[in-house]
């Protein structure tokens, strides 16, 4: 399967996505987004109040995706020494919170993802900071990890949660975080459609 992964001139990758992943996400997004009260109760129980307020502002699709990713992380870590630790599922719940600032519709997200194949991280950052309109919103979407980390920190969220949000797109090295490799693997491998 072809991987739609673009590297800018500095070797920084833009968000990883395969065509299959994009199609799967679009199909899910077009369907009815479930709003399971048990999931919301679970999310509220593991996030801080400030983190929960940010999480709840996400679109229904993004909240659903975050819950699926967090549940996968929880299952992957269950047989390890990190089983029962709610910090890492919390990081998974918050990883896409920066997308709130882009305010893109689903079809605009597809356009943004396609644009990511033609522009580098530096361009996306420039668009997010100085462009206007749709170009600015696409730039924000493309660097949503960095923006989400700032939002989490500004709200008083946990540093580990903000740090994972900041690096989950692969623009920065996860090695500098000092996170256990088994946790990083679980977080990365769980972030699928």
Q: Is residue 155 included in any domain, yes or no?
A: yes
**Number of domains making up the chain:** 1
- 3 is a domain residue: no
Q: Which of 59, 3, 5, 54 is nearest to 29 (CA)?
A: 59
Q: Does position 166 have pLDDT exceeding 60, yes or no?
A: yes
Q: Is residue 95 assigned to a domain?
A: yes
Q: Looking at residue 1, what is its pLDDT?
A: 38
SS (H, E, C) 37-53: HHHHHHHHHHCCHHHHH
Predicted TM-score of the model (pTM): 0.81
Q: What is the pLDDT of residues 39-78, one digit of tens each?
A: 999 999 999 999 999 999 999 989 999 999 999 999 999 9
pLDDT of 11:
54
Residue 54 lies in a domain: yes
Residue 2: inside a domain, yes or no? Answer: no
pLDDT at residue 186, rounded to an integer = 94
108 inside domain: no
**What whole-number distance in Å separates Cα of residue 193 and Cα of residue 190?**
9
**pLDDT for 33:** 56
Q: Is the pLDDT of residue 172 over 80?
A: no
Work out the mean pLDDT of the chain and round it to a whole number.
86
Give the structural domain span for 75.
Answer: 13-102+146-190
Q: What are the tens digits of pLDDT across the range 96-151?
A: 999 999 999 888 988 888 888 888 888 999 999 987 899 999 999 999 999 999 99
- Kindly indicate the confidence band of residue 159, based on its pLDDT and cuts at 50, 70 and 90: very high
Share of the chain above pLDDT 70, in %: 81
pLDDT of residue 131: 73
Q: Evaluate whether residue 136 is within a structural domain.
A: no
Residue 139: inside a domain, yes or no?
A: no
Residue 115's alpha-carbon distances to 5, 7, 45, 108, 124, in angstroms, are 11, 13, 37, 10, 9
């Amino acid at each position: 399967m072809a991987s739609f992964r673009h590297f800018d001139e500095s070797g920084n990758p833009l968000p990883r996505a395969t065509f299959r992943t994009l199609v799967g996400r679009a199909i899910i997004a077009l369907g009815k987004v479930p709003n399971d009260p048990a999931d919301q109760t679970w999310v509220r129980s593991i996030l801080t109040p400030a983190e929960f307020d940010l999480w709840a502002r996400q679109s229904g699709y993004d909240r659903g995706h975050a819950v699926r990713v967090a549940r996968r992380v929880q299952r992957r870590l269950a047989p390890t020494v990190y089983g029962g630790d709610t910090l890492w599922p919390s990081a998974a719940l918050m990883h896409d919170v920066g997308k709130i600032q882009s305010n893109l519709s689903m079809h605009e997200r597809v356009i943004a993802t396609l644009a990511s194949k033609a522009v580098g991280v530096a361009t996306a950052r420039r668009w997010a900071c100085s462009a206007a309109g749709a170009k600015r919103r696409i730039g924000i979407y493309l660097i949503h990890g960095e923006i989400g980390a700032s939002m989490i920190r500004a709200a008083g969220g946990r540093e580990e949660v903000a740090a994972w949000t900041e690096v989950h797109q692969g623009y920065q090295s996860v090695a500098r975080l000092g996170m256990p490799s088994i946790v990083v693997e679980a977080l990365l491998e769980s972030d699928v459609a």
